[in-house]
Structures are given as structure tokens and as C-alpha cells.
Amino acid sequence: MRLSLHYSPCPNDTFIFHALASGLVAVPGVALDVALADVEGLNQAAAAGTPDVCKVSVAAAAGLLDEYRILRAGGALGRGVGPILVARGGVRLEDLHGRAVAIPGARTTANLLFGLLCCERGLSPRLLELVYDQVMPAVSDGRCTAGVVIHEGRFTYAQHGLARLLDLGAWWEEERGLPIPLGCIVMRRSLGLDLARAVNAGIRQSLELAHEHPEASRQYIRSHAQEMDPQVIARHIETFVTSSSLDLGPEGEAAILALLAEARRVDGLGALPGDVFLGG
């Protein structure tokens, strides 16, 4: 059978999925149709029910759980990995009230965290949705007072003449005592548990092979990376590919459930289903 697999061109995803995409690892009896898109494009595709297996923001997963189940491998979750709120020099957090702030998509975990922060601080900024790699230029050229940056922007914002206003991931960690769950892999429930376990095992094998033979995926990663500097790519992978990318584990589950609950509260959704995750 054929399955569609969608993930982002970011180094953490291309590192994880290269072996599957290139055929070095296979899911028995399955051919994969791979498509890459930015994080908000992935969220929108999953909301439309297009992909069978898809990397999505954890915040977006909150609205997908009737149709999709969260797999245990392939996600981005950890400490010190969260989105960062940046601005030009001299801007303070309170200055954002009523001002334009660039975000990398309405359904992103980054936007959810920023919204939670704004509620806590009594701020009402005007949000401008942009593709994630356009956020920093919009702040640098004055179109926006601040921006929420993700992915390699965590390492490169100073090169754009920007300063960090707040580390939103660290804010979440301090508030909740949990790591920040950024992204996860979801798979259609209708495809069944046996196939979901096989796909999850394939993702794990792909990541294990990437760790064992990092040179094999190097060209694939570089061909898709927005930031081509090899040191930035290496830092990106080191930061966003963690032990939780192999398996969520109990702490990962707790972190995702906490963020899902916030997302569903904000969106006015009901209680979470009982089988959010693929069983261990």
C-alpha cells in the first residue's frame, strides 16, 4: 500500500526521515509518498485531512485527535528548545500592546505559547502570520515590532540585528516544570494500530540509522535547509533531535498532554480522547 508522509525541510526532520525517504529503511509492505512543507503548511494539510502521516505542531494536534493519533517517535520535544520572542534593540515586552508581532502560523505551538504569555501579561498585539523564515526580516525592516522565531532562528536572530525579549520555551518550562513539546508525528486512526506501530518502528529505525551514519543524510539535509551554515545545521539537529525523538516517554507524554489541554481550552474544544498516543 501507499502512504503519504509529510514533514518539514528543517534539519531535525530531514535528519530523522532521510533514511525512510531514501529507502535505506522501509516499512514492510508500504511505499511512501514524501512531501515537505513549512510548519504551518503541515498544520493546514493535516487539518484538511490530506496526509496519512504528518509532522505537526503540538498545538495544532489538539484539533486533529478525532482523525489522527500521535506516534511515539519523530517529534521535537525537550528543554531549551522553545521559540524565542525577538525585537530590535530598546523594545520592551509591554511595548507590544497594540503593535504588530510576526508569528510563524496561527496553529503553531509558538503562537499558542505567545498567546498564553499575552493573556498572562495583559497584552493584545496585532498578529501577522508569515512563513517562519520571513519573521526575522519583518522585524528587522520595521514591519513588525517583534516576532516569534522558531527552528534555526533560535541561533541566528543576532545576525539580523535583533535581541531576545523572552525565551517562550523557558517561560513554559518554569511555569509547568515540563519540557516544551514543539512538534509531533500524527497518523490517521483509520489506518489501524498494527500499521501505526510499523510506521513508528520505521521512524525509529530511520533516526537510529541517522545517528549511526550521519554522513549519509548530510547532503539531503543541506539541500533543504534554510540556513546553510554547517555549524548552524549541526546545532539545530543537536538541539531539536533529543531522546524524546526516539520515544516520548512518560515525561514527553505529560508535556504534550499539558500543552494539548491548553490548546483545547483556548479553542473551546472538549476533553481529550483517551487514546491520544500510540501505545508503547
In the chain, domain spans: 2-78+179-266, 84-176
- Mean pLDDT of the region 146-165: 91
The pTM of this model reads 0.90
Q: How far apart are CA 227 and CA 104, in angstroms?
A: 16
pLDDT at 280: 61
Mean pLDDT of 219-242: 88
Q: Please identify which residue in the block is written with the cell numbers 498564553.
A: 116
- What is the 3 state secondary structure string of 107-122? CCHHHHHHHHHHHHHC
Fold assignment, 84-176: D-Maltodextrin-Binding Protein; domain 2 (3.40.190)
Query: What type of residue is 169?
Result: G
Separation CA 262–CA 280 (nearest Å): 24
pLDDT at 269 over 90: no
pLDDT at 69: 97
Is pLDDT of 226 > 70? no
2-78+179-266 falls under which CATH superfamily? Answer: Periplasmic binding protein-like II (3.40.190.10)
pLDDT exceeds 80 at position 179: yes
Mean local confidence (pLDDT), 271-280: 84
> For 76-102, what is the mean pLDDT?
94
Mean pLDDT for the chain overall: 94
Q: What is residue 130's three-state secondary structure?
A: coil
> Which residues, including other chains, have CB under 8 Å from residue 177's CB and lie 6 or more apart?
none
Distance CA 6, CA 226 (A): 18
Determine what percent of the chain is predicted with pLDDT higher than 70.
99
**Of 157, 159, 164, 156, which Cα lies nearest the Cα of 233?**
156
The residues annotated with a catalytic role in the active site are: 151
pLDDT grade, residue 227 (50/70/90)? low
Question: Coil, strand, or helix at residue 158?
Answer: helix
* Residue 66 confidence (pLDDT) above 90: yes
pLDDT in tens, 104-150: 999 899 999 999 999 999 999 999 999 888 999 999 999 999 999 98
Residue 148, pLDDT score: 97
What is the pLDDT at residue 279? 84
Is 90 exceeded by the pLDDT of residue 229? no
* Mode of pairing for the β-strands spanning 100-103 and 126-129: parallel
Report the length, in residues, of the chain. Answer: 280
pLDDT at 10 over 70: yes
Res. 18: pLDDT tops 80: yes
